[in-house]
Structure 1
Amino acid sequence: MAKVEVAGREFHYERAGSGEPLLLIQGMSGTHVAWGEPFRGALEESFDVIAFDNRGIGLSAPVDGPFTIVEMAEDTAALMGQLGLESAHVVGISMGGMIAQELALAEPGLMHSLTLGCTYCGGPGSQLMPEENLQKLVAGMSSGDRDKAIQAGYEVNLSPAFRADESTWPPFHEMATSVPAAKATIELQAAAIFGHDTSGRLGEIEVPTLIIHGTVDGVLPFPNGELIASLMPSARFEVLEDVGHMFWWEQPQRSAELIREHALAAGRA
């Protein structure tokens, strides 16, 4: 169990594979296990993969007050420094994509390439979670029934087509129960997301960027991907038809291959 101290706060991380470093930044409530072994394993065939728990979540040290997306980007930059990473391919999904946006704007030299998955930039035209899905998640988390909360997350994060296969439920349930995600921290993460807005600055990002978004994303709807792509005209935009929010969970091999191709192309540029 690897730990690193950043600005007096302890962060949990896992590192495996060989090749150029690739840093994975998780989303709201997500821990290192939420990447899933199929996706991480596929990336580890080509990269030195680092997955960590954001501040206050999973096996990282708890927090005692609010924080911002910018501060989480500062955490990430400092963590990279502590791990001796001069630069890396950076993959951020959902809230992790917001962190990656701020990191790319503040510290572009830390990135070989950037992948923004199922994420959001704030500002005009952006869309947060549809009300129906938000109420489903809130009801699950407020019920006091852990399995009900996990079921709500399963339904909101994954596409109907994927969930039609009943064998997809046990791995998701195991992932959601294996590492803790404190409700109080999730609420602080949500507050940080509400304050995020890079819409007027995305055009300043010069790091080679790949945008990935599923068309039936129930958390951060597909128009968010279209908006980010319109604000970053030099970026590559990959649309995953009939795929939900957790695209890497639904299509681990394809997702890993898209990222691998992008990272290799950035290395040749």
Structure 2
Amino acid sequence: MDVYPAFYRNTNQSGILDGAKLAYEILSADKLGLPGIVPLALVNGLNSLGQDFQRLSESLAKSRPVLIFDNRGIGNSTYSVSAKSDEVTIESMARDLLALLSGLGWSKLAILGFSMGGTIVQQLLLLPYHPSHPTPLPFQVTHVILAGTMAAPLTEFRYRLQFAAPKSGLSLEEKKEVIRDNVEHFFTPAWVQDVRNAERLQWWLNRMVVGRPFEATRKQLRATGKFSLGDLHRHIPKDIPVLTIHGRIDDIVPFPAGEDVHRRIPHARRVEVGLEPGQIPHNQFGHMWWEYFDIGAWRDVLDKFLEDNSLKEKARL
């Protein structure tokens, strides 16, 4: 079980502590406040924990502070009450994220949302325009990265993961075999069959059998099938640069879902394919995009995007 050095106790809309504690960690916290350095928050996908980003977050932390955290009720984060009866929706997770970021007191930050986390980030950006409970953001979002994500419920697309209540009495190795098919769908068949990736695949199998209660996963899965962001994307300011990352052979959130994000956010730009720093060799990759190519290539992509202030000037034109 991962141990985080800090918890943030969430509040509800009335400012009253609701009892939930969000576990988080800030990598390279000593870089906070340095001139020109904007921290980056990483927002998890379905059934995911903050430490799942380890390979990516540790690389990105060479350049800036990086926030990782566990969503409510999963990993080291808690529900608000011992009965674990909290409702979990895309909006509630976005408001949890808002509470965490507000509590950290950052005036500016960039956000990367992966899979379900990308939907949470979109909802966060749209909270000021919420039809019944508009909520301003007390910080400036400087850049947004939406990776392997969607703007409409997953039920509208092909979705390969299958979840069922675990059988009792299984050994650790038996549990790994039960989830193997799900884990392998995070990647392409070629990636799974490549012996050079055997150690990484085992790392994922080892991680996925701990810290992910079935009920929490079920609530998140239900949330991804019932949300609606309406037509509010038009309110996302054009001077917030948006980068999208989506593998063309993503077996979890299909590529057309990413194209739908572009339709809703016309000023978003796609990660570039090429051989220059800040580009990737190709876009034929699966859901766990940062497991493809050298991790330094992804750090270059994100650092270049986060440091290119000309993107804001272009967006204003």
Question: For residues 12-161 of structure 1, what are the structure 2 equivalents within 5 Å?
Answer: 12-17=23-28, 18=31, 19-36=37-54, 38-62=55-79, 63-106=84-127, 107=136, 109-122=139-152, 126-129=156-159, 133-134=160-161, 137-138=162-163, 142=166, 145-161=174-190
Q: Which moved more, 1:213-222 or 1:103-112?
A: 103-112
1:33 deviation in Å? 1.5
Tell me the CA shift for residue 142 of structure 1.
Answer: 4.6
| Gaps in structure 2 of 5+ consecutive residues | 12-18, 32-36, 128-135, 169-173, 273-281, 313-317
Matching of residue 235 in structure 1 with residue 276 in structure 2: no
Give 5+ residue unaligned stretches, structure 1: none
Larger Rg: 2
Equivalent residues of 1:112, 1:266 under 8 A apart: no
Maintained 8 Å contact 1:120/1:224: yes
Query: Does the 8 Å CA contact 2:153/2:225 hold for their aligned counterparts?
Result: no
* Structure 2 equivalent of residue 259 of structure 1: 302
Identify the residue that residue 4 of structure 1 maps to in structure 2.
Answer: 8
Shift in Å, 1:143: 5.4
Q: Cα RMSD (Å) of the superposition?
A: 2.3
Instruction: Quote the Cα distance in structure 2 between the aligned partners of 1:46 and 1:267.
Output: 19
Greater mean alpha carbon deviation, residues 141-150 or residues 235-244: 141-150
- Distance in 2 (CA, whole Å) between partners of 1:186 and 1:153 is 13
SS at match of 1:172: helix
Relative distance call for 1:250 and 1:259 in structure 2 (3 A) is same
2:257 and 2:300 mapped to 1: Cα distance? Answer: 23
Give CA deviations for 1:58-111 in whole Å, capped at 9, x if unaligned.
Answer: 010134232211111111111011112223100000110011001111256541
Partner residue of 1:164? 193
Q: Which structure carries more strand by proportion?
A: 1
Looking at structure 1, the residues matched to 124 and 180 of structure 2 have their Cα atoms a distance apart, in angstroms, of 33
Instruction: State the identity %.
Output: 26
Does residue 288 of structure 2 align to residue 246 of structure 1?
yes
TM-score (norm 1): 0.88
Using CA pairs under 8 Å that are at least 6 residues apart, name the structure with larger relative contact order, 1 or 2.
1
Q: Give me the whole-angstrom Cα distance separating, in 1, the residues matched to 2:309 and 2:225.
A: 32
Q: CA deviation at 1:233?
A: 1.4
User: Secondary structure at the residue paired with 2:284?
Assistant: coil
Question: Is the Cα–Cα contact under 8 Å of residues 154 and 225 in structure 2 kept in the other structure?
Answer: no
**Distance verdict in 2 for CA 1:2–1:46, change over 3 Å:** same
Matched, 1:184 2:184: no
> Greater helix share, 1 or 2?
1
- Contact conserved, 1:121 with 1:199, CA < 8 A, in 2? no
Secondary structure, aligned partner of 2:24: strand
TM superposition score normalised by structure 2: 0.76
Q: Could you tell me how far apart the structure 2 residues matched to 1:30 and 1:124 are? A: 16
Q: 2:155–2:225: 8 Å Cα contact kept in structure 1?
A: no
What secondary structure is seen at the aligned counterpart in 2 of 1:20? coil
Amino acid at match of 2:191: F
Displacement of 1:55 in angstroms is 0.6
